[in-house]
């Protein structure tokens, strides 16, 4: 069934939106529902998902499914790179960046120091939150890598069929 004037009712559109917005929604809900605090690298890992979500929402601007899949594959490659870096930091393979260490204390009095200690700070990037034995960055790495292969496969099939049509 076609939904020319209501793309939000199209099941394939909803699945695509779930693939790109689902991980972002999960990250945000883990904060609000379970109290997980994202580190600096966790926040960076959300950027590709936000961009891909906007791409899918405004997919009418991109007429070709092939180009949409290619752009999503590139987005998931970016997510895979960010997640790989984060996992490397968690495992101690990569040195912590300045944003991951937390800000140094600027307190001049004991009262200011107490205030800093009681204020909310971002967790260090090398102290991950574990879910079912894996960090959220590791889960993101596995998911992003799988999506790179999935959208790469779709793009490859689409380009091959387009070439076949041109030659016929």
Residue 107 lies in a domain: no
| Model confidence pLDDT, tens digit, residues 18-35 | 999 999 999 899 888 888
Residue 89 lies in a domain: yes
Distances (CA, A) of 29 to 25, 38, 143, 158: 6, 11, 18, 35
Residue 149 lies in a domain: yes
- How many domains does the chain fold into? 1
pLDDT confidence band for 166 (50 / 70 / 90): low
CATH number for the domain spanning 13: value is 1.20.1550
State both tokens at 127: 């102290």
- Residue 168 pLDDT: 47
| Model confidence pLDDT, tens digit, residues 112-159 | 666 665 666 677 777 788 889 898 999 999 999 999 999 999 988 887
Is the separation of the CB atoms in 160 and 69 below 8 Å?
A: no
Domain that holds residue 135: 7-96+126-167
Residue 109 lies in a domain: no
Q: Which residue has the tokens 């030659």?
A: 167
Helix (H) or strand (E) holding 135: strand 134-135
- Residue 143 pLDDT: 96
């Amino acid at each position: 069934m076609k939904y020319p004037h209501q793309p939000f009712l199209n099941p394939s559109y909803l699945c695509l939106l779930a693939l790109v917005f689902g991980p972002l929604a999960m990250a945000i809900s883990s904060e609000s529902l379970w109290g997980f605090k994202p580190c600096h690298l966790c926040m960076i890992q959300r950027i590709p998902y936000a961009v891909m979500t906007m791409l899918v929402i405004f997919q009418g601007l991109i007429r070709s499914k092939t180009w949409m899949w290619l752009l999503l594959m590139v987005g998931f490659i970016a997510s895979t790179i960010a997640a790989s870096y984060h996992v490397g930091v968690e495992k101690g393979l990569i040195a912590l960046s300045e944003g991951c260490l937390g800000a140094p204390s600027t307190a001049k009095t004991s009262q200011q120091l107490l205030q800093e200690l009681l204020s909310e700070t971002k967790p260090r990037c090398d102290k991950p939150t574990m879910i079912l034995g894996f960090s959220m960055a590791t889960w993101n790495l596995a998911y992003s890598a799988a999506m790179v292969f999935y959208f790469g496969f779709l793009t490859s099939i689409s380009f091959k069929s387009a070439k076949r049509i041109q030659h016929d």
